[in-house]
Structure 1
Amino acid sequence: MRIVVQVKLMPDAAQAQALAATLRTVNESANWVSSVAFERGVPREYELRKHSYTKLKAGGLGAQAAQHTIKKVSHAYAALKANIRAGNLGKPGSRRRSNAESKPIVFRHDAAHPFDDRCLSWQYDAQTISIWTTGGRLKAVRFICSAGALKMLRKHRKGESDLIERDGIFYLIAVCEITEATQYEPDGFIGVDLGIANIATTSTGFRAAGRSLNRYRKRQVELRRKLQVKNTKSAKRRLRNRRSKERRHTANVNHIIAKKIVTEAERTSHGIALGSGRPGPIHLPVVRGRCPR
């Protein structure tokens, strides 16, 4: 089973500038590769490589960076095709689907970019990394994470890691492969009904009221409205800083509720049955030590 671990990078000013320039360069290159894939109708990786690899290398990208750029574009078109096939972008002829099909995929300048072990190495004891950039390899770039995340990285990190930038802060999203936890046949099931007034209600009598979270959301909406009305530099700065605060708070509340339900189900050797829009529940066996998603 694969899970991801996020660490926060703590580069100095020169290192941060090099990381930002690298992300900007590889994503500009990805946009060019995307236009080639769209114009020539060759979204598959092998065919796309024949039309773009040489120019990417000539433009200053290393061999691995060029390969990953092509791979990223190919995967993006594969995901677009899958979404269209599944009807996630609407019916044929709809505006949303037509917009998606009528132009190349565009990558933001700070979009995530993958690095493999040839481009990125970890020094866990020193909590530093060495990473390839367009300006040369950066060494001793500090990172911080929890003790549990560091232990997970030491034991299970494998494969690629994604470099991303959020509001001027750099993160690495590392892939860890761990052994599947042992599943067991549950003695029964705990029914869970999800909603808005009550975030979760279980058949055992547990109820997680949504009143507090809804009040919090209303306060955030009112605060954003006031800051937008002010329209000053400091107000805009506060809006940027609070951009993802509500999302993080909501995710934390939901995680706490889910953990309580899973802990109770594990203690009583029960599974979890989630209510759905289809007739009958979806039965998800509890995996020891993990919350089913």
Structure 2
Amino acid sequence: MKLIAQLKLLPTSDQHAALLQTLEQANVVCNAISQTAWQSQTFKQFDVHTLVYDHIRATSGLSAQMVVRQIAKVADAYKIDRKVQRTFTPHGAISYDDRILSWNMHAPSVSIWTVNGRQSIPFVCGKRQWELVQSRRGETDLAYVNGQFYLLATCDVEEPTPDDVDRTIGVDLGIVNISTDSDGETYSGAQIERVRQRYQRRRSALQAVGTKNAKRRLKSISGKQRRFQTNTNHTIAKRLVAKAKCTKRQIALEDLTHIRSRVKASGRQQRARHSNWSFNQLRQFVTYKAAIAGVRVVLVNPTYTSRTCSACGHCDKRNRKNQAVFCCVVCHFATSADYNAAINIERAVVTLPMASTLRR
């Protein structure tokens, strides 16, 4: 399994300027390569290399390997879309390989190529990132974010064979409750909604003022809500995987692909909450954490799981009294609607074909 380790560089002012100049020059070269590729309708990396390498190498001031990396960047961009000419921002991330970036894990620091020559720059990271970077393989991206430089290193993590288990934790995903498992444990979304509303009010007020100070304040709070939600999803995913590992069970998640196009929210506030629902991020976090822990994850079709009684199996729209309450019209079994759905998701795994197993 490939994971990304993010490390923060600590350059001096001169090194910062050199890195920034390198980033800008590399993206100027990418735009020049992209223009030539677009005009000649040449998009494969080998063909683009043959077409532009000599000219770019002679005029750009970049090293041979840096030119090769920028050609690869342009070719990769055209793999995504060949209908429009690809353009690159001045501070877009660029890739380094081991020829132009080497690591000193004892210092710790990196020796990185810049337009002002090789620079030895220290880096810092957390304990988890330090463990990941020990298994670094392949390319490393240099990114410039909010005035700081970061290295995004691709790491190859060993993925154990999932445990053979015959029990499952069903997990129902939602907006009011982010997730509810078939053990009855609920992870509420109330705090996320309060944070969303607080930042929404703050942004609206600052945008209405429109002064330079208000714009500076808008910039300072940018991304805080997103980071809070990401941390919340990490926490939930970690707890779900730990529970499954400890109790020797697999995890069953709803397959909510294209849910936004199937469900229409009414009203401005409902649309805001619906668009703020980061269920796919939570699914990705659960998937990769489970893979590292050797826990199997399967996806099940969520159709009618919220309408079907987990006690008698009767399916009826009237069973769902409201968002929070489930009450069967036949056997009168009553419980939390999310908990009832989680039990149905757990049981649905028994009838799944092997093709429904989530592929990693």
TM-score by length of 1: 0.86
* Equivalent in the alignment of 1:137: 118
1:264-275 matches, within 5 Å, as: 264-275=243-254
Q: Which moved more, 1:218-227 or 1:175-184?
A: 175-184
1:85 corresponds to? none
Matched residue count: 267
User: Any runs of at least 4 consecutive aligned residues in structure 1 with deviations exceeding 4 A, and if so which?
Assistant: 290-293
Give the C-alpha shift of residue 36 in structure 1. 1.4
Distance 1:290 1:210, change over 3 A: farther
1:90 alignment counterpart: none
Partner of residue 293, structure 2: 289
Structure 1 residue 38: Cα displacement = 1.4
Q: For structure 1, list consecutive stretches of 5 or more residues without a partner in the other structure.
A: 82-100
C-alpha deviation, 1:212, in angstroms:
1.0
Instruction: Kindly report which structure 2 residues correspond to 1:1-293, keeping only aligned pairs within 5 A, or say none.
Output: 1-58=1-58, 59-80=60-81, 101=83, 103-139=84-120, 141-153=121-133, 155-277=134-256, 286-287=290-291, 289=293
Q: CA deviation at 1:290?
A: 6.7
Change over 3 Å in CA distance of 1:290–1:7 after alignment to 2: farther
Deviations, residues 165-209 of structure 1 (Å, cap 9, x unaligned): 011111000111122223112221111111111111111111111
Worse overlay, 176-185 or 251-260: 176-185
CA distance in 1, matches of 2:243, 2:27: 46
Q: 2 CA distance for matches of 1:243 and 1:228?
A: 13
8 Å CA contact 1:9–1:144 kept in 2: the answer is yes
Secondary structure class of the residue paired with 1:75: helix
SS of residue in 2 equivalent to 1:222? helix
Report the Cα distance in structure 1 between the residues aligned to 2:10 and 2:97, rounded to whole angstroms. 20
CA distance in 2, matches of 1:240, 1:163: 22
For the residue of structure 1 that corresponds to 2:229, the secondary structure is: helix
* Alpha-carbon distance in 2 for matches of 1:10, 1:165: 12
One-letter identity of the residue aligned with 2:51: H
Q: CA RMSD in A?
A: 2.0
Rate the CA distance shift 1:182–1:247 in 2: closer, same or farther, 3 A. same
The alpha-carbon distance between structure 1 residues 168 and 288, as it changes in their structure 2 partners (threshold 3 A), is closer
**Which structure has the greater CA radius of gyration?**
2
Gaps of 5+ in 2: 258-282, 298-359
Q: Which amino acid aligns with 1:25?
A: Q
Shift of 1:288: 5.3
Shift of 1:274: 0.8
CA distance in 1, matches of 2:256, 2:141: 35
Structure 1 residue matching 2:107: 3-state secondary structure: coil
CA separation in 2, counterparts of 1:232 and 1:73?
39
**Quick one: distance in 1 between partners of 2:66 and 2:132?**
26
Distance (Å, rounded) in 2 between the aligned partners of 1:130 and 1:21: 17
Structure 1 SS opposite 2:95? strand
Question: CA 1:145–1:290 in structure 2 vs 1: closer, same or farther (change >3 Å)?
Answer: farther
CA distance in 2, matches of 1:288, 1:69: 33
3-state SS of paired residue (2:199): helix
Q: CA separation in 2, counterparts of 1:238 and 1:277?
A: 36
CA distance in 1, matches of 2:154, 2:255: 31
Q: Deviations over 1:243-272 (max 9, x none)?
A: 111111110001101111111111111111
Q: Is the 8 A contact 1:6 1:145 kept in 2?
A: yes
Amino acid at match of 1:71: A
